[in-house]
Amino acid sequence: MALIYAFEDEDGSWHGNPGRTYRGMGRATYATLTFCPGPAEPGADSSFAGQTLRVAVASIDEQVAGEIAYRLDNGTVHYATDEVDELLFGIDVHRLPISSWPPVVHHPVPAAPATPAEPDPTPLVLSWEVSDAGRHYTLTLTRGMVGPTVEVTGADTEGQLIAQLAGHLPGDDLSLVARVFLAAVANPGVSTRVPAARRPRSWSEQETAYVASRHRDGADAEAIAVELGRTANSIRYKLHALGLAPFPGPNTSRPPAPPRTPAYTMEDLRQVHSNSHRPWEPEDDERLARRAAEGASISELMEEFGRNHGAITSRLARVQPPVAPSPPPAAP
């Protein structure tokens, strides 16, 4: 499947993975995408809103497409990688009520309703189109009073019908069926069970405050990610949103993060905390639990065990019930 795997903004900076070579990757082609969401539309707060982006498209075997179909300025429609979706719409893109950009919605004009007004029987018709390698496919979803109907038609460059598939789908199962098709493309000739979709976690106020505090303490994104059970990339995006770090990516034109002086070598770290990054032994765990039960403070435990704040609090969470202060609980 041909995917958008990188794009160039109007400042001339590339985002995504412009220099990466994927397995089974075809020749890249380039087109433009006008990304101008309205004030109340998804993507309105994106760093790239209001720009015309130059996108790189290529057939990639090892990547599964994201959830949004993009209609480029030349009329072709392509999905993108998850990373491109998140760059344009944010890390909570999976929660947004959007499956195409810009949305293609057709509302046939209904006849004037009788009095008293009857339920509008006019179906809502949505359609998506994609062209590649001399073939043009259209997916039409009709939501009527008897339930949704899905139809897929394919045509060649002469306009001759080469494929047709139609049927009914219950409820909102279109995304499930789409994931099955994508799994078949990604694993041709192999039967497999499609894993459940990712459910991004929202950020609680306590987690946000904790990230800012640990960043000011000199902790890097990887350490904070371990302490909160998140990915390092999500920590970098949150720090950028808080104005505490540069935009995570190859764009160096953005303002640098406020200066700080973390320890970059193990020797530097152990000058501050003598046991930094050393393995915990069973007797260490027993002594830590005992000292905490005796009422020792986090500062006292840091001094006694030669470890930093995050190491002590995360280890306490393993050897006994949570002891304050500790990383805030993950949002439900």
Task: For residue range 68-88, list pLDDT tens digits in order.
Answer: 888 899 888 888 888 888 888
Of 69, 101, 133, which residue sits at a domain end?
101
Of 130, 156, 186, which residue sits at a domain end?
186
Q: What is the pLDDT of residues 132-184, one digit of tens each?
A: 777 878 777 776 655 677 778 787 776 667 887 877 777 667 777 777 777 77
Residue 106: inside a domain, yes or no? Answer: no
Q: What is the pLDDT of residues 219-267, one digit of tens each?
A: 999 999 888 888 888 899 899 888 888 887 654 334 455 555 543 466 7
Tell me what percent of the residues of the chain surpass a pLDDT of 70. 73
Residue 198: inside a domain, yes or no? Answer: no
Residue 328: inside a domain, yes or no? Answer: no
Q: What is the pLDDT of residue 188?
A: 72
Q: Assess whether 10 and 96 both reside in one domain.
A: yes
DSSP state string for 25-86 = ----EEEEEEE---TTSTTTT-TTTTEEEEEEEEE-SS----S-EEE-TTS-EEEE-HHHHH
Residue 109 pLDDT exceeds 70: no
Cβ contact 194:186 at 8 Å: no
Q: What is the pLDDT of residue 283?
A: 92
Q: What is the pLDDT of residue 78?
A: 84
> In this structure, what CATH number is given to the domain that contains residue 136?
3.10.450
Q: What is the pLDDT of residue 66?
A: 76
Which residues touch 89 (CB under 8 Å, ≥6 apart)?
Answer: 42, 43, 46, 68, 96, 98
At 136, list the tokens.
């043009």
Q: What is the pLDDT of residue 44?
A: 83
Residue 64: inside a domain, yes or no? Answer: yes
**Mean model confidence pLDDT for the chain:** 77
Q: What is the pLDDT of residue 304?
A: 93
pTM of whole model > 0.85?
Answer: no
Q: Assess whether 132 and 175 both reside in one domain.
A: yes
Of 7-16, 113-122, 170-179, which range is least confident? 113-122
Q: Assess whether 31 and 126 both reside in one domain.
A: no
Q: Assess whether 221 and 272 both reside in one domain.
A: yes
- Chain centroid to Cα 247, Å, comes to 15
Residue 283: inside a domain, yes or no? Answer: yes
Number of domains the chain is built from? 3
Q: Assess whether 6 and 89 both reside in one domain.
A: yes
Strand order in the sheet with 105-106: 105-106, 124-132, 135-144, 147-156, 161-168
Residue 247: inside a domain, yes or no? Answer: yes
Q: What is the pLDDT of residue 183?
A: 74
Cis before 97 (ω within 30): no
Domain that holds residue 271: 205-319
Residue with tokens 């041709």, as numbered in its chain: 188
Q: What is the pLDDT of residue 19?
A: 78
Residue 33 pLDDT exceeds 90: yes
Q: What is the pLDDT of residue 263?
A: 39
